[in-house]
Amino acid sequence: MSKPTGRYSWWAPYLFISPFVILFAVFTVYPLIYSVVMAMQQNNGPRATAFVGLSNFKWVLTDPDFIKALKNTFVFAAGSIFVQLPASLGLALLLNRPDVRARGFWRLIFFAPVLVGLAFVAIMFGLIFNKTNGLLNKMLVLLTDWIPGWTWNPEFPWLQEFIMPALIIAAFWMYVGFNMVYFLAALQNVSKDLLEAAEIDGANAWHRFLNVTIPAIRPIATFVVLLSFIGSMQLFELPFLLVGNGGGPNQQGLTVVMYLYDKGFNIGDLGYASAIGWILAMILFAFAMLQKYLGRVEDR
Amino acid sequence: MADSESKATLGGKGWRPLDTLSIGGWIILFIAVASTIAVTVWPEKEIEGVQVWVFARNHAELYDVLAQEYNADADAGDTSRLNITTIDNDALTRRVLSGFWSNTPLADLIEIERDKMTQFVTGPLEHVGFTDLTDRIMAEGLDKKINYPSFGPWTSRGRIFGLPHDVHPVLLCYRADLVEQAGIDVSEIETWDDFARVMKPLISDLDGDGRPDRYLLNLWYSQMGELEVLLLQAGGGTFDENDNSLVASDANVMVVAQSVAWMVGPERIAIDAPEFDASGNQLKLDGRVVAVVMPDWLAGVWKSDLSQLGGKLKLMPLPAWEPGGRRTSVRGGTMIGIPKATEDFETAWQIAKYLYISPELSERLFEASNIISPVTEFWDEDYYKQPDPFFSGQASGTAFIEQAPNVPFRSSNPFHVMARNRIADAVTDLYAEASGGNVVGPDGKKIPADEVTSDLLEDRARELLQAAEARLLKEMSRNVFLKRDREAEDE
């Protein structure tokens, strides 16, 4: 092994890694450490600060608004994971079938909503969910007129009393096609040999799906679930634009990040906002660990 | 081979600088260096003169005219030029807050909206970014010249941080065409009970589906602006002048119970037709709303947004909550403040007075937006007394001015918005319980939604508001800065 020669050699490696190290230190490490310090302060903007120890964490964990925001966020995450992802998988299975005509076209149609900006989606769904003149209520009234014994309140207050279902529907429209693409990619890797072998052995479609397809797509499915959970926990723009800063009547649409934003940037208590941020980070970390642990257990 | 490679390396003897990057790399590096130099060296266009930031376009349009006149008269070159910039209300608030927090440049004069003001006074008084104008206002006698309640929203712990733009008294605006067609005499109305009784024949099914779709009053649990008008009228609201909580006051309990009863059950007179909303406006155009609580500024908004209703409307004082009670309330408001960092306070102060309390502004403000001046000596001016075709020939200015001295006090307590949100939560909960048939009556049985009345709702309204107040007080106790200020005051 030859030794590097030349007068600049000793510092060359440091020079090459310095852009990353400097940026990482200034924009990641320092803010991270400072946010821990701030989480132990009460602020009115960055200048007026008072050390309060761990009381911010104590307050956050007993703060009814935070608990409500956390509950709302988990409900949304559950909607994403248990409603949106199965639908994405179903769509992917359907559009993976060779006998479906114009598969490329349908894939594009279902994927297209994600290309639309969130602000536009919020404005559009604001009109769709409008109580008096909204498209959804009008459509449901027409639909229920056709079904004997069914009625629909023509002024169903989606954005006043059913904010979370409305948000889940809006997010469903936007992301179902996006997650479908992940599942489509995963389905390409399902061994055709195994599927054929299972068929020859007498396994029906459901058993082939359960015992061959699902195990094959599990790594991607796990990743999609994790991504979906993290995305849900960071939910901000959609409810912010659809129902406003406070989350609508009774804070039904208030999410953890909206609450963090309100405390930090409207009220100016950056310390309290930091404490909320750290609790959110811990929740995400715990979920990721739990998923990793469950994955290992299943592997064994 | 290895030897030739090592020559091209940084440490090698035959190192050639040009070989360290590819052509693409050199192009990117060149663009990066050139753009950095350009951005650094390029002269920044500085706006000369006095900067004013406003959040309302109609304010800006008015001030632009005043600014042109001022600039023509000023005759003092660029340093005293007046420049008006409009910024979205939320963006303006955040920009100003971050300017105060981080010492970044701000305008010399800044307009702040009533609900945003509390964000500027949550910390210690010495950290409020606006100049304390109290002594100047007193010294110049402006406290006597300006309608006193107008200072309320801009006052914190006894110190005034802005010059008020308005009074914003509230009247009842009703569909005179519908009322007169039904032969209803509004002079019989003194209280809200009278209003519900006398106007009741107007509640009707317009589309023949067997359910009423025209109601008497635009009010809903989700419209806290309208509800706050009623709370203040009754003597409730969020805080009194001594910063004591009014959240669970008797006035609030009565108004909340009555308002929810107006939305549910046999006493229903309310409909959800929000302002600044296409469907809300359509309901008003369709004649599905008989009356709304209308501050002076909303009259200006309706003239532009709902001009089709011109000649069909009339104004009257708000019905009182009890015979002989207050016939008006207040909603909204704006101030102009001078940041502490403003270099030339005197010029900024003169311009603030020119834009807010000059006779020139007063007339144009009313003509452009129906807003009456907070300066009481202008209230006798002729322009307020002119018949207004939009309100069926009534003198709308006089109608608002007659009630202006009676507008209720409004708190600028830093927790005002939080308190209002807590009341809103209580109203929402009460509505949900009442409409779901879950309110328990005096006999211990649940009251069906179609039997809910205000009397039956009062106990539950009180419980919910007391719980809301307890939460508010707990949250207030957390603020160490206000606690310190209070302790310092006590000492």
3-state DSSP of chain A: CCCCCCCCHHHHHHHHHHHHHHHHHHHHHHHHHHHHHHCCEEEECCCEEEECCCHHHHHHHHCHHHHHHHHHHHHHHHHHHHHHHHHHHHHHHHHCCCCCCCHHHHHHHHHHHHHCCHHHHHHHHHHHCCCCCCHHHHHHHHHHHHCCCCCCCCCCCHHHHCHHHHHHHHHHHHHHHHHHHHHHHHHHCCCHHHHHHHHHCCCCHHHHHHHHHHHHHHHHHHHHHHHHHHHHHCCCHHHHHHHCCCCCHHHCCCCHHHHHHHHHHHHCCHHHHHHHHHHHHHHHHHHHHHHHHHHHHHHC
Q: How far is B172 from chain A (nearest CA, A)?
A: 24
State percent of chain A over pLDDT 90.
Answer: 66
Q: How confident is the model at residue B5 (pLDDT cuts 50, 70, 90)?
A: very low
**CB within 8 Å: B10 and A9:** yes
Structure tokens given for A207: 């058993």
Residue B2 has pLDDT above 50, yes or no: no
Average per-residue pLDDT in chain A? Answer: 90
Arithmetic mean of pLDDT, A88-103: 92
User: In this predicted structure, what is the pLDDT of residue B292?
Assistant: 98
Arithmetic mean of pLDDT, A229-250: 91
- pLDDT digits over B108-141, tens only? 999 999 999 988 988 888 889 999 999 999 999 9
Residue B7 has pLDDT above 50, yes or no: no
Q: How far is B464 from chain A (nearest CA, A)?
A: 13
ipTM rounded to 2 decimals: 0.76
Residues in chain A with CB shorter than 8 Å from the CB of B11 are 4-9, 12
User: In this predicted structure, what is the pLDDT of residue A2?
Assistant: 53
Arithmetic mean of pLDDT, B274-285: 90
Residue A191 has pLDDT above 70, yes or no: yes
- The least confident of A84-93, B123-132, B232-241 is B123-132
Q: How confident is the model at residue B431 (pLDDT cuts 50, 70, 90)?
A: very high
**CB within 8 Å: B425 and A42:** no
**CB within 8 Å: B221 and A249:** yes
Q: How far is B72 from chain A (nearest CA, A)?
A: 39
Arithmetic mean of pLDDT, A161-177: 94
Q: How far is B379 from chain A (nearest CA, A)?
A: 37
Structure tokens given for A274: 């930091």
Closest in A42, A246, A268 to B97, CB measured: A268
**CB within 8 Å: A12 and B283:** no
Chain B residue closest to A159 (CA)? B222
Q: How confident is the model at residue B367 (pLDDT cuts 50, 70, 90)?
A: very high
- pLDDT digits over B299-332, tens only? 999 999 999 999 999 999 999 999 999 999 999 9
**CB within 8 Å: A42 and B101:** no
Mutate to test the interface with B, among A55, A250, A254, A269 (most CBs of B within 10 A): A250
Element (H, E) at B367: helix B359-369
Chain B residue closest to A59 (CA)? B478
Residue B271 has pLDDT above 50, yes or no: yes
**CB within 8 Å: A161 and B13:** no
Q: How confident is the model at residue B8 (pLDDT cuts 50, 70, 90)?
A: very low
Residue B40 has pLDDT above 80, yes or no: yes
Closest in B11, B119, B480 to A12, CB measured: B11
Residue B23 has pLDDT above 90, yes or no: no
Residues in chain B with CB shorter than 8 Å from the CB of A6 are 9-13, 15
Residue B76 has pLDDT above 60, yes or no: no
Q: How confident is the model at residue B1 (pLDDT cuts 50, 70, 90)?
A: very low
Q: How confident is the model at residue A226 (pLDDT cuts 50, 70, 90)?
A: very high
Residue B340 has pLDDT above 70, yes or no: yes
**CB within 8 Å: B479 and A42:** yes
- pLDDT digits over A136-153, tens only? 999 999 999 888 888 888
Closest in A5, A130, A246 to B421, CB measured: A246
Query: How many angstroms separate the Cα of B211 from the Cα of each of A16, B205, B206, B208, B475?
Result: 76, 6, 9, 7, 44
Q: Are B10 and B20 in contact (CB under 8 A)?
A: yes
Mutate to test the interface with A, among B1, B425, B435, B464 (most CBs of A within 10 A): B425
Q: How far is A268 from chain B (nearest CA, A)?
A: 8
Average per-residue pLDDT in chain B? Answer: 91
* B432 reaches A (C-beta below 8 A): yes
State percent of chain A over pLDDT 70.
Answer: 97
User: In this predicted structure, what is the pLDDT of residue A33?
Assistant: 95
User: In this predicted structure, what is the pLDDT of residue B3?
Assistant: 46
pTM of the entire structure?
0.84
Residues in chain A with CB shorter than 8 Å from the CB of B21 are none
Please provide residue B302's backbone torsions phi and psi, each rounded to the nearest 5 degrees: -65, -35
**CB within 8 Å: B127 and A47:** yes
Closest in A42, A130, A251 to B480, CB measured: A42
Q: How confident is the model at residue B175 (pLDDT cuts 50, 70, 90)?
A: very high
Q: How far is A116 from chain B (nearest CA, A)?
A: 23
